């Protein structure tokens, strides 16, 4: 992470999953560490993935929703989670996060 509010990437080898979260810095003005929420969210993503190794198909929305429901810290975050299983890519986006899929020179 390059600044206090950044989250970090969570990956699982069994399925190609990548998630990035960035804490909303407005919480800092209220004395709440904005980065703590995004980091907890990404830790919960990892926990969800490790706890559901046999659950297929893996859907990005379900992973992020489940992780969000387990967070305890005050705060909020933007987040993007991508899950690639075989040839199917699912995405979950919260806030103003985005991703670009580039393939076959298109």
- The tens digit of pLDDT for each residue in 37-79 reads 988 998 898 888 887 655 566 788 988 999 999 999 999 999 9
| Structure confidence at residue 13 (pLDDT) | 47
Q: Which residues pair with 79 in a beta bridge?
A: 21, 94
Query: For the purposes of burial, counting CB atoms within 10 Å of the CB of 86, is it exposed (0-12), middle (13-18) or buried (19 or more)?
Result: exposed
């Amino acid at each position: 992470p390059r600044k206090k509010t950044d989250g970090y990437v969570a990956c699982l080898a069994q399925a190609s999953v990548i998630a990035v979260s960035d804490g909303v810095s407005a919480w800092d003005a209220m004395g709440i560490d904005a980065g703590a929420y995004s980091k907890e969210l990404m830790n919960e993503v990892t926990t969800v993935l490790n706890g559901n190794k046999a659950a297929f198909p893996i859907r990005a929305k379900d992973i992020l929703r489940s992780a969000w429901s387990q967070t305890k810290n005050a705060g909020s975050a933007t987040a993007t989670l991508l899950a690639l299983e075989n040839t199917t890519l699912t995405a979950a986006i919260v806030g103003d996060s985005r991703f670009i899929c580039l393939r076959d020179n298109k």
